[in-house]
Amino acid sequence: MPKKNDSAGCFMENKDWGILLTLYDEKNITKAAQILYMSQPALTSKIKHIEQELGVQLIFRDARGIRFTPEGNYMVKKATEMVAQFEIIKNELSGFSNELSGTIEICASHYFTMYRLPKILKLFKQKYPDADFKVMTDWSKNLFSIVNSKKAHIGFVNIDYGGCEQMHMLYEESVCVTAMEPFELKELVQLPRIEYKRDYILKMQIDKWWRNNFSAPPLISMYVDKITTCREMVSYGLGYGILPEFIIRDIPDIHKAYLFDKNGVKITRKTWMIYNEADFSLPILPIFIEFVKNMQF
Same domain for 66 and 121, yes or no, is: no
Same domain for 162 and 279, yes or no, is: yes
pLDDT value, residue 92: 65
Same domain for 263 and 178, yes or no, is: yes
pLDDT value, residue 83: 80
Same domain for 14 and 85, yes or no, is: yes
Q: What's the number of domains the chain is made of?
A: 3
Residue-wise burial string across 165-185, b where 16 or more C-beta atoms lie within 10 A, e elsewhere: eeeeebeebbbbbbbbeebee
CA 8 to CA 75: how far, in whole Å?
A: 10
Q: Model pTM? A: 0.66
**Which span out of 52-61, 64-73, 158-167, 211-220 was modeled with the highest average pLDDT?**
211-220
Domain assignment of residue 80, yes or no: yes
Domain that holds residue 84: 8-89
Domain assignment of residue 2, yes or no: no
Among 197-201, 215-219, 284-288, which stretch is predicted with the lowest mean pLDDT?
A: 197-201
pLDDT over 70, % of the chain? 91
Domain assignment of residue 155, yes or no: yes
Same domain for 135 and 180, yes or no, is: no
Domain assignment of residue 223, yes or no: yes
What are the helix (H) ranges across the chain? Answer: 8-11, 14-26, 29-36, 40-54, 70-97, 110-115, 117-127, 140-148, 200-213, 227-235, 284-293
Domain containing residue 76: CATH number: 1.10.10.10
Amino acid occupying residue 61: R
Residue-wise burial string across 227-262, b where 16 or more C-beta atoms lie within 10 A, e elsewhere: beebbebbbeebbbbbbbebbbeebeebeeeebeee
Domain containing residue 224: CATH number: 3.40.190.290
CA 213 to CA 177: how far, in whole Å?
A: 13
Same domain for 13 and 131, yes or no, is: no
Residue ending a domain, choose from 89, 124, 156: 89
User: Please, what is the average pLDDT of the chain?
Assistant: 87
Same domain for 224 and 282, yes or no, is: no
